[in-house]
Amino acid sequence: MLGFENEQAAMTEANRCIQCPGAPCIKACPIENDIPSALWELEQGHFAEAASVFRLTSTMPEVCGRICPQER
């Protein structure tokens, strides 16, 4: 299965982001996605806005999520 079972599950998972100072996740991302901002939008239920944040650094964010080296 790809993705989450439903919107609430995605929002709950996004809530795990603790908005670290210095955002080490951005520095670790090969294309420097603004991960904390996107997760904050997702946590609020703003799905289109979260996608827009990722589209600022990638024209195909859905691909990045599937090939992210962090997942290994």
Structure tokens at 56: 């600022």
3-state secondary structure 8-69: HHHHHHHCCCCCCCCCHHHHHCCCCCCHHHHHHHHHCCCHHHHHHHHHCCCCCHHHHHHHCH
Question: Would you state the pLDDT for residue 46?
Answer: 97
Question: Would you state the pLDDT for residue 14?
Answer: 93
Question: Would you state the pLDDT for residue 29?
Answer: 87
Question: Half-sphere exposure of residue 2, counting CA atoms within 13 Å on the CB side?
Answer: 5
Q: Spell out the per-residue pLDDT of the chain, length 72, in tens.
A: 467 889 999 999 999 999 999 999 898 888 889 999 999 999 999 999 999 999 999 888 778 777 777 755
